[in-house]
Copies of this chain bind each other. A is one copy, B any other.
């Protein structure tokens, strides 16, 4: 039974700002499931308001039920609202594109993107599911997440998204240890050619990572100075967002942050 519910819910992963509507055949193909099975699952999910099918195209899109759920969650545990000012500050101070993502069960979900105002900038799709192993946000979140999630990702197939993606579990494990040590994650073109990502974790009240905030820069523009500047702003805004969301930075993370700032000569 669990696997049927799991498969049904996985259908939702295929909807993003880039792909807001999907036909039955297309969705079945993407999910690798029988059309008849997907149709039954979609009917049940439509009944619950999670998807809906409108107009003459018969395309499926996410349903109004998700608005109710988000409203309930955000009202009581405001996370989206806590991350918004962090992204605004990041874009204002670095001039680059900033985004926030949250650990959402087995996946990392981008929930907010603010793009740089520059003509040459990284353009990201909000609402996308990001791989943990090929993104700076994924590394930052995973390094400070519950050990079970970390081991699960390390034990799964690590696909080569670009020639730069870390595909070896041992190498990824070492990378995550380095992230824990420095308090930030850098991923140079691991998920997309010419995109350089830097990310820091945002924490829940229990001291485990809730997700990450990140700055994405065209790789050819990255310099040591810009990198240092981005890390300083990320540390400050990550701490503020954690605080605003009612979270708590664990002591080892605060120490890692201070150590990095000292090494960069930016500490106070």
A→B interface (CB under 8 Å): 1-2, 4-6, 8-10, 12, 15-17, 20-21, 40-41, 43-50, 52, 54-56, 61-77, 79-80, 102-107, 109-112, 126-127, 129, 204-206, 210-211
Contacts and interface: CB of A to CB of B under 8 A. Distances in A.
What are the 4 tightest A-B residue pairs by CB atom distance, in nearest-first order? A49-B104, A70-B70, A72-B127, A49-B105
B54 A105 contact: no
Contacts of A80: 67, 71
B48 A106 contact: yes
Copy number in the complex reads: 2
Given A69-B62, A69-B70, A48 B17 contact: no
Contact of A8 (B5, B12, B211): B5
A127 B71 contact: yes
The A interface, classified by DSSP as helix, strand, loop or mixed, is: mixed
A138 to B, nearest CB: 15
B66 A66 contact: yes
Given A70-B69, A102-B67, A205-B55, A126 B75 contact: yes
B72 A16 contact: yes
A44 B6 contact: yes
Of the candidates A62, A68, A107, the one having the most CB atoms from chain B within 10 angstroms of its own CB is: A68
Interface centre among A50, A62, A69, A107 (most CB of B within 10 A): A69
A26 B266 CA distance: 51
A193 to B, nearest CB: 25
A54 B109 contact: no
A106 B50 CA distance: 11
B4 A47 contact: no
Contacts of A47: 6, 9, 105-106
Given A54-B204, A68-B109, 11 more contacts: A2-B40, A4-B4, A17-B72, A47-B105, A49-B102, A54-B205, A66-B70, A67-B109, A68-B104, A69-B70, A75-B126
